[in-house]
């Protein structure tokens, strides 16, 4: 059966039965990862039961602002995106690649064991699903093939939650990545709350998703259910204020390498790398070697790296990008421009995290718009 045929399968899961979804996933042997409430934000963490979810919470996001607030209802997914995506599970911030042991004067290379854990991701938004598609292009083939990523990805169960609201920083519509996920998931949930009726429209997107669905007490869909689900997604579209003009966006960078806006943003950027840390598609990494004191064992680790640091482009003659201007230009130009030449897609999915979590409120949508303006000479 093709993915499109699976997508024709829609059912209804009542809110009162939601805990059975969690139980069904865990019964299949998955480690369930989903949205959890931290002290000041929403992040991803392990879900053992439905009360681990941020029930009844919402977030307010603006440039350099993230605020939690209680909702008037008991929605399970009534927030936007948290500060982290599922990238940290598929492409961990630190990962040992191999070890070397010295025995009787000989060196023995010990490869890292393949991960035994298989993940189910609950509450993945459409923008973050597209970010996974982007990282698949990097780590699942070609010279950057990562067998550990590929194995995690192959085994992952992805349960999307369609967005019913948009933050003040979202612009997924401009990037063609949301707010509704169309494919590439195992299950997709649309949470609908209407007076006393609280349910989830369940879309089945794969054989794996169908196997989970068969364990749930689902009912047939009515026209009224579909109308409510559609209005839910339309609400997200109506709330989305930010936008990006993506027409000829590669040329925008290639033709504006010395635009004065780069100097302007360099005066505001503090080079903290937060935008790259929260970005769900950034994939730069470096390796570090460490040896044990007794000299009998060493390890090689991979860790995330960021193009905002001086060391990132360090050569024997010094850093290639020694100014904040050059580093910010590199990041934005690669993300929205040369990434398309490299991977056939934009490196931005419009999640807005880089805007929300930038300490000084730099807004990429404003920077892109400014680059389109003819500079004063």
Would you say residue 1 lies in a domain?
Answer: no
Would you say residue 253 lies in a domain?
Answer: yes
Would you say residue 296 lies in a domain?
Answer: no
Helix (H, G, I), strand (E, B) or coil at 289: strand
Q: Containing domain of residue 153, as a range? A: 9-93+116-239
Would you say residue 270 lies in a domain?
Answer: yes
Would you say residue 148 lies in a domain?
Answer: yes
pLDDT at residue 175 is higher than 80: yes
66-111 residue pLDDT tens: 999 999 999 999 999 999 999 999 999 999 999 999 999 999 999 9
Do 212 and 261 sit in the same domain of this protein?
no
192-213 residue pLDDT tens: 998 779 999 999 999 999 999 9
Cα 89 vs. chain centroid, distance in angstroms? 11
Do 186 and 317 sit in the same domain of this protein?
no
Do 325 and 349 sit in the same domain of this protein?
yes
Do 228 and 259 sit in the same domain of this protein?
no
Distances (CA, A) of 302 to 98, 145, 192: 10, 14, 42
Q: Give the residue-averaged pLDDT of 56-75.
A: 96
Would you say residue 291 lies in a domain?
Answer: no
Q: Which of 184, 213, 239 is the last residue of a domain?
A: 239
Do 210 and 261 sit in the same domain of this protein?
no
User: What's the pLDDT score for residue 325?
Assistant: 95
DSSP state string for 39-78: SSSEEEEE-SSGGGS-TTEEEEEETTEEEEEE-SS--SS-
* φ and ψ of 197, to 5 deg: -100, 120
Do 258 and 192 sit in the same domain of this protein?
no
Would you say residue 299 lies in a domain?
Answer: no
10-26 residue pLDDT tens: 999 999 999 999 999 99
User: What's the pLDDT score for residue 376?
Assistant: 60
pLDDT tier at 245, thresholds 50, 70, 90: very high
Do 161 and 32 sit in the same domain of this protein?
yes
User: What's the pLDDT score for residue 3?
Assistant: 52
Do 56 and 197 sit in the same domain of this protein?
yes
Q: Give the residue-averaged pLDDT of 221-233.
A: 93
154-170 residue pLDDT tens: 999 999 999 999 999 99
User: What's the pLDDT score for residue 292?
Assistant: 92
User: What's the pLDDT score for residue 377?
Assistant: 55
Do 130 and 43 sit in the same domain of this protein?
yes
User: What's the pLDDT score for residue 5?
Assistant: 55
269-324 residue pLDDT tens: 999 999 999 999 999 999 999 999 888 999 999 999 998 888 888 888 888 888 99
Q: Which of 204, 219, 239 is the last residue of a domain?
A: 239
Q: How many folded domains does the chain comprise?
A: 2
Would you say residue 102 lies in a domain?
Answer: no
pLDDT tier at 133, thresholds 50, 70, 90: very high
Please state whether the peptide bond connecting residue 179 to the residue before it is cis, i.e. omega within 30 degrees of 0.
Answer: yes
């Amino acid at each position: 059966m093709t993915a499109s045929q699976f997508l024709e399968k829609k059912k209804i899961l009542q809110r009162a039965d939601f805990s059975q979804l969690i139980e069904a996933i865990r019964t299949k042997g998955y480690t369930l990862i989903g949205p959890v409430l931290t002290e000041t934000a929403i992040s991803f963490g392990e879900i053992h039961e439905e009360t681990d979810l941020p029930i009844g919470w919402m977030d307010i996001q603006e440039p350099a602002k993230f605020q939690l607030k209680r909702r008037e209802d008991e929605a399970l997914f009534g927030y936007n995106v948290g500060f982290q995506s599922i990238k940290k599970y598929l492409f961990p911030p630190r990962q040992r690649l191999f070890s070397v042991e010295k025995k009787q004067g000989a060196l023995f290379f010990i490869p890292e064991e393949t991960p035994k854990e298989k993940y189910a991701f609950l509450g993945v938004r459409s923008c973050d699903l597209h970010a996974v598609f982007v990282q698949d292009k990097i780590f699942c083939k070609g010279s950057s093939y990562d067998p550990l990523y590929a194995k995690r990805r192959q085994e992952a169960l992805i349960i999307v939650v369609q967005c019913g609201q948009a933050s003040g920083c979202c612009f997924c519509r401009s990037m063609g990545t949301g707010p509704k996920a169309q494919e590439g998931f195992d299950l997709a949930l649309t949470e609908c709350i209407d007076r006393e009726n609280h349910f989830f429209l369940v879309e089945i997107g794969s054989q794996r998703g169908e196997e989970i669905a068969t364990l749930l007490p689902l009912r047939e869909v009515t026209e009224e259910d579909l109308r409510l689900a559609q209005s839910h997604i339309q609400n997200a579209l109506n709330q989305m204020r930010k936008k990006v003009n993506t027409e000829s966006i590669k040329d925008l960078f290639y033709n504006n390498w010395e635009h004065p806006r780069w100097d302007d943003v360099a005066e505001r950027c503090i080079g903290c790398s937060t935008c790259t840390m929260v970005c769900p598609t950034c994939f730069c990494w470096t390796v570090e070697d460490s040896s044990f004191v007794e000299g009998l064992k060493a390890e090689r680790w991979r860790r995330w790296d960021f193009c905002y640091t001086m060391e990132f482009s360090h050569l024997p003659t010094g850093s290639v990008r020694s100014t904040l201007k050059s580093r910010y230009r590199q990041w934005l130009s690669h993300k929205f421009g040369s990434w398309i030449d490299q991977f056939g897609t934009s490196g931005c999915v419009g999640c807005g995290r880089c805007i929300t979590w930038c300490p000084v409120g730099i807004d990429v949508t404003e920077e892109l718009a400014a680059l389109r303006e003819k500079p004063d000479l």
